[in-house]
Amino acid sequence: MTKQKKTKPRVAIYKFTSCSGCQQALLNAEHDLPDILGALDIVYFKEARRDNFGGPYDLALVEGSISVSEEIEILKELRKETKTLIAMGACAVYGGPQALRNWTNMDELKKSSYRTPEHLDTLNWTGGIGTYVPVDYSIPGCGPSTAQLVEVIANFVQGRLPDLPRHSVCVDCKLADNVCLLVADNKSCLGPVTAAGCGAACPSNNRGCYGCFGPMNAANGMALARVFEKMGNSAEDIVLLFRNQTSNAEAFREVSLAYAQKRRMAA
């Protein structure tokens, strides 16, 4: 009896509105890529291959937020064609920097940037891909950790659920013997409410965390905002602190909207 050859899982790496940094983070896995390529059949990856093929896919990793109406239809079709769909990076998970449009007037933004803004088919509100389709797993970060990307893919190959850390950046700071910028230096730092994954990169370089991995589990953003107030930050300062790459994450959005209201009332 002839032994049937086992086929590799078909994988797609998709990009919507983004900077391509998440795909680059995957390509940076130089030492692990040979093993990944040996276990998977990556059939769609415009960043890395010339010929690309349609579904169905066993796994799709998606970078980027949904910012134009055309992307909604492409994403929905991809979801139909994919068994396991993973949001890769802050844009795909939360909307990324593009979600900053949610707090302003999109028509005014278009007028200030384009000569013929009436020709633009741009959504007034931007969110992650989970706004439009079910997502099986999310990898946060702007950009995501290469090690975390490899871990998630390895778990998929082995048929296990990934378990990325969701504790705060403060834990990583303690492990790195960093002096607390918030307590010792009176610097505004989102580390107490931000998920680990970056290796405490900014605090390790004497800069306050600005939340690019999104909220940790059970993040209490309002409590941290009150600490910022006691440090002398204005309502405007606090709005800006919570409106960065992950401004559309619920725990951060709650704070920025509350302090935007305070700002209006004080004006």
Q: What is the pLDDT of residue 53?
A: 95
CA distance 134 to 84: 10
For residues 65-73, give the mean pLDDT: 94
Q: 66 with 72: CB under 8 angstroms? A: yes
Residues 30, 118: one domain?
A: yes
Residues 103, 220: one domain?
A: no
- pLDDT top residue among 90 and 267: 90
Tell me, yes or no, whether 5 lies in a domain. no
Residues 85, 110: one domain?
A: yes
Residues 183, 213: one domain?
A: yes
* 3-class DSSP assignment, residue 58: strand
Lowest mean pLDDT among 20-29, 135-144, 170-179, 258-267: 258-267
Residues 131, 224: one domain?
A: no
Residues 109, 238: one domain?
A: no
Q: What is the pLDDT of residue 37?
A: 82
Q: 96 with 67: CB under 8 angstroms? A: no
Write down which residue in 132, 158, 184 finishes a domain. Answer: 158
CA distance 243 to 264: 17
Q: What is the pLDDT of residues 102-132, one digit of tens each?
A: 998 888 888 888 888 888 888 889 999 999 9
Residue 191, domain extent:
169-266
For residues 87-111, give the mean pLDDT: 92
In sequence order, the 6+-apart residues with CB closer than 8 A to the CB of 214 are 90, 93, 94, 140, 194, 195, 246, 249, 252
CA distance 211 to 148: 17
- pLDDT top residue among 33 and 22: 22
Q: What is the pLDDT of residue 5?
A: 60
Q: 13 with 26: CB under 8 angstroms? A: yes
pLDDT at 3 over 90: no
pLDDT at 194 over 90: yes
Residue 195: band (very low, low, confident or very high) from pLDDT cuts 50, 70, 90:
very high
Q: What is the pLDDT of residue 263?
A: 84
Q: 248 with 128: CB under 8 angstroms? A: yes
For residues 17-38, give the mean pLDDT: 88
Lowest mean pLDDT among 29-33, 187-191, 215-219: 29-33
For residues 231-258, give the mean pLDDT: 95
In the structure encoding, which two tokens stand for residue 39, read together?
């276990």
Residues 45, 120: one domain?
A: yes
Tell me, yes or no, whether 2 lies in a domain. no
Residues 28, 138: one domain?
A: yes
Q: What is the pLDDT of residues 162-180, one digit of tens each?
A: 888 889 999 999 999 999 9
Residues 174, 233: one domain?
A: yes
Q: What is the pLDDT of residue 77?
A: 97
Q: 104 with 257: CB under 8 angstroms? A: no
Q: 201 with 194: CB under 8 angstroms? A: no
Residues 175, 151: one domain?
A: no
Say how many residues make up the chain.
267
Tell me, yes or no, whether 16 lies in a domain. yes
Residues 237, 128: one domain?
A: no
Q: What is the pTM of this model?
A: 0.91
Here the CATH number for the domain that contains residue 92 is 3.40.50.700
pLDDT at 2 over 90: no
Q: What's the domain count of the chain?
A: 2
Tell me, yes or no, whether 132 lies in a domain. yes
Mean pLDDT over all residues of the chain? 92
Residue 7: band (very low, low, confident or very high) from pLDDT cuts 50, 70, 90:
confident
Burial 93-132 (b: 16+ CB within 10 A, else e): bbbbbbbbbbeeebeeebeeeeeeeeeeebbeebbbbbbe
Tell me, yes or no, whether 4 lies in a domain. no
Q: What is the pLDDT of residue 6?
A: 67
Write down which residue in 124, 158, 192 finishes a domain. Answer: 158
Residues 21, 134: one domain?
A: yes
